[in-house]
Amino acid sequence: MSERADHVDPSKLRENLLRLAEFIREMDRQGQLLTAGPRLLKMMGDLRSELFHYEVRHTGRLLPKEATAQAETEPPAERESRRLVEDALRRQRELEEEWRRGCSPEDRGE
């Protein structure tokens, strides 16, 4: 993903998803679908990330709600789902920060 992680162009995302689908169909036609594993994993990983950011930032469906009276009345399953998404977002930010810092010899026990 070459764009900022918090911006996903919906039309570009759609094109990338269709490109993946066509790649899968083409590899299957050529009898090479299972040997294309590494490339498929790379493509699916990139798209997974784009889809996640699209869902969170573009649609807003996974964004945490402000604490309101309505949030108190939401069903327990939704409350738990929201908690899980917030936790995943927090962990992702922590991992991205750790990745940016890099690894030092002390981290590896050297």
Indicate whether 44 and 94 sit together in one domain.
no
Indicate whether 84 and 34 sit together in one domain.
no
Indicate whether 78 and 53 sit together in one domain.
no
Containing structural domain, residue 27: 1-63
Structural domain total, the chain: 2
- The model's pLDDT over 14-62, given as tens digits with 9 standing for 90+, comes to 999 999 999 999 999 999 999 999 999 999 998 998 888 888 776 666 5
**Two structure tokens written together for 34:** 């299972």
Q: Give the CA count within 13 Å in the CB-facing half-sphere of 76.
A: 0
Query: Cα separation of 13 and 26, whole Å?
Result: 20
Predicted confidence (pLDDT) at residue 70 exceeds the cutoff of 60? no
Share of the chain above pLDDT 70, in %: 74
Which pLDDT belongs to residue 63?
55
In the DSSP assignment, the letter for residue 34 is: G
The answer to whether the beta carbons of residues 53 and 8 sit under 8 Å apart is yes
Indicate whether 1 and 28 sit together in one domain.
yes
State whether the Cα torsion 70-76-78-82 is positive or negative. positive
Indicate whether 16 and 47 sit together in one domain.
yes
Q: Which residues contact 24 (CB under 8 A, 6 or more apart)?
A: 33, 40
Reported pTM: 0.50
Which residue blocks in 1-110 are alpha helix, DSSP H?
10-29, 37-53, 69-73, 76-101
Indicate whether 46 and 92 sit together in one domain.
no
Indicate whether 86 and 43 sit together in one domain.
no
Is residue 106 domain-resident?
Answer: no
Is residue 12 domain-resident?
Answer: yes
Indicate whether 82 and 33 sit together in one domain.
no
Indicate whether 12 and 59 sit together in one domain.
yes
